[in-house]
Amino acid sequence: MNRRYAFLVSLTLFITFSSLIAQEPGGGSLRPDITGGADLIFRPPKNPTIQDLGGGGRVAGRSDTKPKERKQDPILKRANAARSAPKPRYGEAEQQYRLATEVAPDDARAFAGLGNVYVDQGKFTEAVDAYQKALKIDPEYKDAYLPLAFSLARLNRYNEALEIYQKAQKAEPNNPEVYNNVSFAYNHLDRFQDAVDASQQAIKLLGATGEAYTQGFQERKEVLSYAYKNLGNAFNGLKRYEEAANALKEAAKIEPTNAAAHFNLGLTLYNAGRYSEAIEAYKEVIKLRPNLAQAHYNLGLTYMAINDKTQAKAEYEILKNLNVDLANQLAEMIKR
């Protein structure tokens, strides 16, 4: 993976498991806070296309391509080079894209390039503004759809993100990443049945063969795992826990070394009352991340759900050295 996008890809590893919180029969709540679960798939946006300075033809995002009015193309070329350098020179890239917007304020490419620089740096408010200006100039500038929707979602502006993702669906009807992201947005809007439908469409498009699926820097298995996680979250929101557990089992099968997949599965199995299976899921988490306090705490509460205080106490002893607050909470549950 290109290192200049490392932080962006890391952004796609976060989730809030609020819809998956389970209540312990004796009164305790399982811990939902772990990273690495279902989320958006993000394709780092491409640099704006530069027209061959020696030829003619139409440039996307431009209404006029007369040679004497192509002064922005060399500027865009310099901006692209600065952004794409092994060590990106974002300050220089931003300066050049801004200059291009001044030279040709009717060129959507310049604003989209500026948005790319902002989204690279996680400046999502600025990115939204730039992409919206690009689309105001050219509503069919498709390269702005996905990064704009991603930026809106990162700002928790899910309804607006959905509007853009729906445009992306029309532009790329067979792109499973778009459907995965639509499902994520629906989940955050509590539109769980819509999220189910979108996730299932992503899974259908990806197929079930396990072959590498390349879309940007993502692999097919990663996209498929995310789709199953989003599907599991949607089923959880509908309180259809058996179906949620089945979806999350598929995610864990696809990514057996992803601790969050097993953690999320444990929460869901607990909700389904399948405590023995939940215990096994949390054990898998602990194999992968032995010092994850939340997993030991949840495992302890799950043991309490089957009235196995001996094993719960064993988790308490481990937890004392990892998180005193969680250890004390587990101890209170054991005393009841």
* Same domain, yes or no: 246 and 117: no
Q: Based on the domain organization, do 19 and 97 belong to the same domain?
A: no
CA 148 vs CA 44, 85, 293, 308: distances in Å: 11, 23, 36, 50
Q: Which two tokens stand for residue 67?
A: 């040679």
Mean pLDDT for the chain overall: 82
Closest residue by Cα to residue 285 from 250, 255, 246: 255
pLDDT by residue for the chain (336 residues), tens digit each?
A: 333 332 222 222 223 334 444 444 434 566 555 445 667 878 788 999 987 544 333 444 444 444 434 789 999 999 999 999 999 999 999 999 999 999 999 999 999 999 999 999 999 999 999 999 999 999 999 999 999 999 999 999 999 999 999 999 998 888 888 999 999 999 999 999 999 999 999 998 887 443 334 444 346 777 888 899 899 989 988 989 889 999 989 988 988 888 888 998 898 898 888 999 999 999 999 999 999 999 999 999 999 999 999 999 999 999 999 999 999 999 998 888
- The Cα–Cα gap between 124 and 141 comes to 19
Q: Which residues span the domain enclosing 155?
A: 40-172
Say what the pLDDT of residue 38 is. 66
Among 130, 153, 172, the domain boundary falls at 172
Residues in contact with 49: Cβ distance below 8 Å, sequence separation at least 6, in sequence order? 59, 60, 109
pLDDT for position 261? 83
The answer to whether 307 and 295 have CB atoms below 8 angstroms apart is: no
Q: Of 145, 172, 199, at which residue does a domain stop?
A: 172
On whether both 183 and 328 belong to a single domain, the answer is: yes
> Among 57, 133, 58, which residue's Cα sits nearest to residue 100?
133
Which amino acid type is present at position 178? Answer: V
Amino acid 224: pLDDT: 86
Residues 6+ apart with CB under 8 A from 217: 1, 2, 5, 9, 43, 44
Same domain, 60 and 167: yes
Are 149 and 170 in contact, with CB atoms under 8 Å apart?
no
**Residues 253 and 327 reside in one and the same domain:** yes
Structural domain count, the chain? 2
Residues 207-264 pLDDT 10s = 744 333 444 434 677 788 889 989 998 998 898 988 999 998 998 898 888 888 899 8
- Is residue 336 domain-shared with residue 288, that is, in the same domain? yes
Same domain, 262 and 214: yes
Give dist(CA 188, CA 157) in Å, integer: 10
Give me the pLDDT at residue 32, please: 55
Percent of the chain residues topping a pLDDT of 90:
58
DSSP string, 225-292: HHHHHHHHHHHHHTT-HHHHHHHHHHHHHHSTT-HHHHHHHHHHHHHTT-HHHHHHHHHHHHHH-TT-
pTM here is: 0.78
Report the CATH number that the domain containing residue 305 is assigned in CATH.
1.25.40.10
Contact 231, 200 (CB under 8 A): yes
The DSSP annotation for 174-239 comes to: T-HHHHHHHHHHHHHTT-HHHHHHHHHHHHHHH-SS-----BTTB-HHHHHHHHHHHHHHHHHHTT
Q: Are 181 and 291 in the same domain?
A: yes
Exposed / middle / buried, residue 59 (Cβ in 10 Å: 0-12, 13-18, 19+): buried
Distance CA(48)–CA(39), nearest Å, equals 27
- 217 in the same domain as 168: no
Same domain, 72 and 209: no
Structure tokens at 14: 């976060």
Same domain membership, residue 319 and residue 188: yes
Same-domain check for residues 153 and 179:
no
- Residue corresponding to tokens 């004497």: 68
Backbone angles phi, psi at 218, to 5 degrees: -90, 150
Domain's final residue, options 172, 202, 223: 172
**Contact 56/307 with Cβ under 8 angstroms?**
no
Distance CA 13, CA 34 (A): 10
